[in-house]
Structure 1
Amino acid sequence: MQSIGERLEEARKRKGISLREAAEATKIRSDFLGYIEQNKFDFDLPELYKRGFIKNYARYLKLDPEKIATDYNAQLLSNTRGGKKGGAELFGQIEIKKSAAAEDAQTDSGSYGRISTQGSSSHNDEEPTEEDADKTFYLKIGLVFVGTLTLVFVIFGLIKAILSSGDDISDEPDLSTPTEITQPAEPTAPVNTDVANNNELKLVASGTVYVLVKQQSDNAILYRDTMSEGQTVNLTKDGAVDILFTAGENITIESGGERLRPSSSGTAKITLP
């Protein structure tokens, strides 16, 4: 039957891996791996680390780490029975405890009893290096998740701020260079006497239109808003006024007893005395 070291060495050579490559992959010194393959388990390390190294090395070579660890415990027990003084000291006093149940199990299934190391914890088979690596891995995953979530919130806030600032932009149409109507608007039928006064101005919308009425004498804004279909606005002016609008086909102006309709559609300006 092959020893533990022979099985590990054979598995490594079968995969074409050198000791140095195995040491770099497992983070175990190459001289320790050499001792293990030579079945020299008396190198200067606590028993906890020896077991951890053997299991890690077996796992790396795709062998059953639990089977290798069991064989190692059996070999360790066999060496202690071979005559090392009193209970065999392996870098710490090893005390072999057998209960009646353990002895029965040994008879039935070939168990080698239970080995406990004085001064070591009850979790001798734990592998500190692997556990620490797992903790580090999960910590990194958590940090990446938190960072990504923070970045998403920042981007969302920026987009919301940009959209909010866009709402403040005035939706008033550009009337900076309107087409000025030099000819008088087309008069229609006379209107009621309640608008016959030259200082009275009435705006009637037949569709959606934006209207700006500005008094020339003092540049006062008499009216500025979007009118909807059927809406009527009555104004009192003092002298000549400029009337700017965006849809001439949708507005009728009543002033001085006349009803005026712009002769052109689209944005334009009318001056009334």
Structure 2
Amino acid sequence: MLDKFAEELREQREKSGITIQQIASKTRIDKKFLEAIDRGNFSFLPELYVKAFLKEYARVIGLDEDETVKKFLIAREGKDYNEVLEQGKIEEEKTKEQKKTETAYSKPAIKSSPVKSYFDDSLNKKDQDDSDSDKTRLMYAAIAGISVLVFAVLYLFVFNKSDEIIVEETPIEEIVTDNAQRFEEVPLNNSEEDMNMPYDSLSLEIFSSETSWVNIIPDKGKAVEFILYPNSARKLTAQNSFTATVGNSGGIILKLNNKQIEFSGRSKSVKHFRIDKTGKLEYLNTPPNTGQ
């Protein structure tokens, strides 16, 4: 089914008069990955990245991005995605019709309000008691709100004086959507630091001559995940060590504190490794703990 899926993508691309090179220019995705999609080979990267690249491919050739990804996931299971999607539409239509029928035959309940006598002293007294109770609740709520505000101000200006900078992992959709800007922001000879931690003693620069994806954990902290495009670089800092996973590792060059480290990667191959503060590089057999 994946062959059929790839064939439909290729036919739509050719029908739109768009070449692989044009898609690569518009999306900044490496041409060899786009050619793999065209051939029906979807094992070139982990599924997360394949889906992201498929969305970009579909967008450029004029297909619905989400529907294209759904077809890929169904085809990967060996099912006919046209039948599955059609069945899903039929079920959705049945559900809509059922809701319409239920709405047509349902009658809204009519609530009648009790009639109060303006001359009933007991009712007037109850209304007064309710009003006093509401005022009391409002007063307590106001006091609680002021207390929370005062505590927040004290916490921000007295207790919270930490200089810690938190770096959040960027989702893959944002990475692919914004990849054109990344191409301009991180040239090989003018890379910017991803984290600015003043007390860190280790600085690791990761250069890439090909499109590669990186998941790296400074010390034992939070993992940082990103994609490096051809002739781009990223710099990270830590105190004691770096633990990382690199995809398409053949185009990767590592520099620790401006000194190149001997790293042996292979094209379209994933490498797991750890670098300590002495510059020693240790290859790992399993992916490192993400630290999250």
* Both structures adopt the same fold (TM-score exceeding 0.5): no
Q: Normalised by the size of structure 1, how large is the TM-score?
A: 0.30
Q: Normalised by the size of structure 2, how large is the TM-score?
A: 0.28
- Higher radius of gyration, 1 or 2: 1
The structure whose residues are more often helix, as a share, is 2
